[in-house]
């Protein structure tokens, strides 16, 4: 499903390398977790895969369902089914959440050559998904993410994910800033989207998220590479022993 081959990335217009030969494959139906210390390049990986422009890929390739996506712009990758749940979701003042959701859904449908969603179907889809995430109607009328709490912003990310039904989801530190209850709601939302034809990459610092979203594989990232891969037990190891061993290994 998602295949990252020997990826080398530096910040555009600088010599600062962030990813140094990262290789990772996530199959359809698989939930892979990436863990790693601060500064290991986890967020950069999520940005590079989703097409943010501030980076330069000096070597390697990223494939989605066997197709290289390096030449695609961010919105084209989105239409191809790639979704990034942001660590810090952006505020869009003056644009009602509902308006934004509809614009995004229709933009993706349009670029796939599909008809626009009918207002009734749209309302139904939004209501259904919002109820499950405990998002009330008032929140949908407010400007997107403006004045939302950290937990509300994260729930809004999962709502968008549920509505857009992406093929591959990247969750960047979705647990940061969440209290226990919000963590449970968000995790349930994510788990509900687990499907045999959908892959997920969950980026986190902490084991606690992985108690709720149990991964199939766990990868440890340090200094821009995957330095160890294993099953869910690897996450527990890390929780106990920390990253020290891996940071040394990568150097």
Binding site for other proteins (CB under 8 A): 50-54, 73-75, 77-79, 83-84, 86, 89-96, 98-100, 102-108, 111, 116, 143, 160, 164
Buried b (16+ CB within 10 A) or exposed e, 27-58: eeebbbbbbbbeebbbbbbbbbbbbeeebeee
Question: Rg of the Cα trace of the chain?
Answer: 18
Question: Which residues share a beta bridge with 26?
Answer: 2
State the minimum distance, in angstroms, from the CB of residue 54 to other proteins.
Answer: 8
For other proteins, the closer of residues 82 and 226 by Cβ is: 82
State the minimum distance, in angstroms, from the CB of residue 103 to other proteins.
Answer: 5
For other proteins, the closer of residues 38 and 118 by Cβ is: 118
What contacts 214, CB < 8 A, 6 or more positions away?
31, 232
State the minimum distance, in angstroms, from the CB of residue 106 to other proteins.
Answer: 6
State the minimum distance, in angstroms, from the CB of residue 208 to other proteins.
Answer: 26
Q: Which helix (H) or strand (E) segment is 218 a member of?
A: strand 217-222
For other proteins, the closer of residues 84 and 213 by Cβ is: 84
Residue that is written with structure tokens 């606690």 in the block: 208
CA distance 80 to 230: 29
Nearest by Cα to 149 from 94, 104, 91: 91
State the minimum distance, in angstroms, from the CB of residue 166 to other proteins.
Answer: 10
For other proteins, the closer of residues 98 and 178 by Cβ is: 98
83 Cα distance to chain centroid: 6
State the minimum distance, in angstroms, from the CB of residue 53 to other proteins.
Answer: 7
For other proteins, the closer of residues 84 and 202 by Cβ is: 84
For other proteins, the closer of residues 20 and 99 by Cβ is: 99
């Amino acid at each position: 499903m998602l295949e990252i081959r020997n990826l080398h990335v530096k910040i555009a217009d600088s010599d600062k390398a962030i990813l140094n030969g990262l290789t990772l494959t996530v199959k359809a139906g698989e939930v892979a977790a990436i863990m790693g210390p601060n500064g290991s390049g986890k967020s950069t990986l999520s940005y590079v895969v989703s097409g943010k422009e501030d980076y330069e890929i000096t070597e390697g390739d990223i494939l989605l369902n066997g197709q290289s996506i390096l030449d695609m712009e961010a919105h084209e990758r989105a239409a191809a089914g790639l979704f990034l749940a942001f660590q810090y979701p952006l505020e869009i003042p003056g644009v009602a959440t509902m308006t934004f959701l509809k614009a995004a859904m229709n933009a993706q449908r349009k670029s796939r050559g599909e008809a626009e969603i009918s207002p009734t179907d749209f309302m139904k889809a939004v209501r259904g998904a919002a109820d499950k995430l405990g998002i009330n109607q008032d929140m949908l009328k407010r400007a997107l993410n403006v004045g939302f709490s950290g937990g509300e912003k994260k729930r809004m990310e999962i709502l968008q994910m549920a509505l857009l039904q992406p093929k591959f989801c990247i969750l960047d530190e979705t647990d940061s800033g969440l209290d226990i209850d919000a963590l449970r709601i968000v995790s349930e939302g994510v788990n509900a989207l687990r499907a045999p034809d959908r892959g997920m990459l969950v980026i986190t610092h902490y084991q606690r998220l992985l108690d709720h979203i149990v991964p199939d594989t766990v990868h440890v990232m340090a200094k821009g590479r995957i330095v160890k891969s294993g099953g869910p037990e690897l996450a527990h190891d890390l929780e106990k022993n920390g990253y020290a061993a891996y940071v040394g290994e990568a150097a």
